[in-house]
Amino acid sequence: MIWPLRKLPRYEFGSDDIKSAIVHHKYVYIAYADGMGTQLSFLDFILSRLYRFDHITILFDIRKSDYFSFYNDGFDQDQFNQIIQFNSARVVSDIQKIDQILEGEPEKVFSIAFYQHPFMETYLKEKNVKTLPWDELARLRRGFRPFDSLLRPGSKLTKSLERETHKADQKLGVHARLGNGEKLYRSEDHNSSRLAEEFIERLDRESGQMFLCTDTLSFLEECIKRYGSRVLHTERFMFPEGCGPGHSVLGCLPEQKRMVLHNKRKELGPYQLIHDAFLEIFLLGLCQRIIGNTSQFSYYARVSRGVPFIDITQKRGLNIF
């Protein structure tokens, strides 16, 4: 379907306008194109800023995430609910309900402009969406809210967690976001080989088992070769070397690699990719501590679960992902 967001006028930037929008609207529409970690951190950011405004309901539209780009088989709400559900009545993720609101009450809806992703910036401009600027929203007072209680694993994810929990529970967590050949437009000096070497140097000083999450198969294989049975990981599908992290085809990949990624994504489908992402996100939250580089994928573990985090890139000020 064509969503009726184009009916909404563009929002003018400014603090007074933001206050007015919050007071005079009932819903905030979130449709952000990026990985699952960023989806959660973005949702948490919005909730924490708007928690005092209990008349605002958040419409969380997963269809606009990168997982569904180039996927034309519609949306299966049941498959999504088997993976993850939201406990809060203030978050609506049911696509049918979201469409009903967008079609029936567009004048009561505004959106949030988070211009980190060029696709979403273009989308918002084309649809003429009423938007609140990210930097202005950030000035609102942040309040404490237990984000951990917001999420509830669905039946399929629950079974996977029961099977995999022993791999992460009270273990050292490692999240290595190396990009798998991806070159992001926002990264001027991304060197995955350099990052991989820094991880190895740090892990060489560790002992005991580790739960490893990475988007790069060669790094996983190197760690298994180096540390043997100490390395624990899920059996999720790993995209071929050089094809990017899997959730997005928007990275500046060579055309041949982009097609390989595109075909693999179609073969797996978005629900398996979302399941695998949430599985690792929840398992990282069970770890005793985490060694990683800057990435929103570990947000749930770091922020919601309070798992101690060691950022290997912090000393040199590198903030890539």
* Residues 223 and 241 both lie in one domain: yes
* Residues 137 and 249 both lie in one domain: no
- What confidence score (pLDDT) does residue 114 get? 54
Q: Is residue 107 part of a domain?
A: yes
Provide the β-strand partners of residue 320.
none
The two three-digit tokens of residue 320, written as one number: 């890539």
Q: Is residue 321 part of a domain?
A: no
* Residues 136 and 49 both lie in one domain: yes
Based on the structure, what is the number of domains in the chain? Answer: 2
Provide the β-strand partners of residue 47.
none
- What confidence score (pLDDT) does residue 254 get? 76
* Residues 182 and 132 both lie in one domain: no
Choose among 64, 63, 68, 70: nearest CA to 263: 70
The two three-digit tokens of residue 66, written as one number: 């990168």
Q: Is the dihedral of CA 124, 125, 129, 131 positive or negative?
A: positive
Residues 59-115: pLDDT tens digits? 998 888 888 877 777 899 999 999 999 888 889 999 999 999 988 888 888 886 554
On the question of pLDDT at 6 being above 50, the answer is no
On the question of pLDDT at 14 being above 50, the answer is no
Task: Give CA–CA dist 277/232, Å, rounded.
Answer: 16
* Residues 197 and 169 both lie in one domain: yes
Q: Is residue 273 part of a domain?
A: yes
- What confidence score (pLDDT) does residue 133 get? 52
Q: Is residue 135 part of a domain?
A: yes
* Residues 144 and 159 both lie in one domain: no
- Gap between the terminal Cα atoms of the chain: 32
* Residues 132 and 209 both lie in one domain: no
Give 159 or 148, the one with higher predicted confidence: 159
Task: Give CA–CA dist 316/128, Å, rounded.
Answer: 40
C-alpha separations of 286 from 129, 168, 308 in Å: 39, 6, 11
Three-class SS state of 291 = strand
- What confidence score (pLDDT) does residue 226 get? 97
CATH number, domain with residue 309:
3.40.50.11350
* Residues 40 and 105 both lie in one domain: yes
Contact present, 92 and 58 (Cβ < 8 Å): yes
On the question of pLDDT at 250 being above 70, the answer is no
CB atoms within 10 A of CB 79: 16
* pLDDT more than 70, % of the chain: 75
Provide the β-strand partners of residue 109.
27
* Residues 214 and 270 both lie in one domain: yes
On the question of pLDDT at 162 being above 90, the answer is yes
Indicate the residue among 149, 166, 191 that finishes a domain. 149
- What confidence score (pLDDT) does residue 115 get? 46
- What confidence score (pLDDT) does residue 67 get? 84
Q: Is residue 299 part of a domain?
A: yes
Task: Give CA–CA dist 195/201, Å, rounded.
Answer: 10
* Residues 141 and 199 both lie in one domain: no
Residue burial 117-155, b: 16+ Cβ < 10 Å; e: rest: beebeebbeebebbbbbeebbeebeeeeeebeebbebbe
On the question of pLDDT at 141 being above 70, the answer is no
Residue 291 lies in domain: 155-316
Angle among Cα 71, 72, 75 to the nearest 5 degrees reads 85
What does DSSP assign to residue 302? I
* Residues 305 and 162 both lie in one domain: yes
Task: Give CA–CA dist 229/134, Å, rounded.
Answer: 45
Give the least confident one: 46-50, 206-210, 224-228, 286-290.
Answer: 46-50
Indicate the residue among 107, 124, 149 that finishes a domain. 149
Indicate the residue among 149, 177, 204 that finishes a domain. 149
Choose among 287, 252, 281: nearest CA to 179: 252
Those residues whose C-beta lies under 8 Å from the C-beta of residue 248, and which sit 6 or more positions away, are 33, 34, 35, 66, 69, 182
Choose among 305, 299, 251: nearest CA to 277: 299
Give the least confident one: 31-45, 167-181, 210-224.
Answer: 31-45
Q: Where are the alpha helices (DSSP H) in the chain?
A: 15-24, 36-50, 77-83, 95-104, 118-127, 134-137, 155-168, 192-203, 217-227, 255-268, 270-284, 299
State residue 210 phi and psi, 5-degree precision.
-135, 140
Average pLDDT (106-133) is 60
* Residues 134 and 244 both lie in one domain: no
Residues 186-235: pLDDT tens digits? 444 456 778 899 999 999 999 999 999 999 999 999 999 999 999 999 99
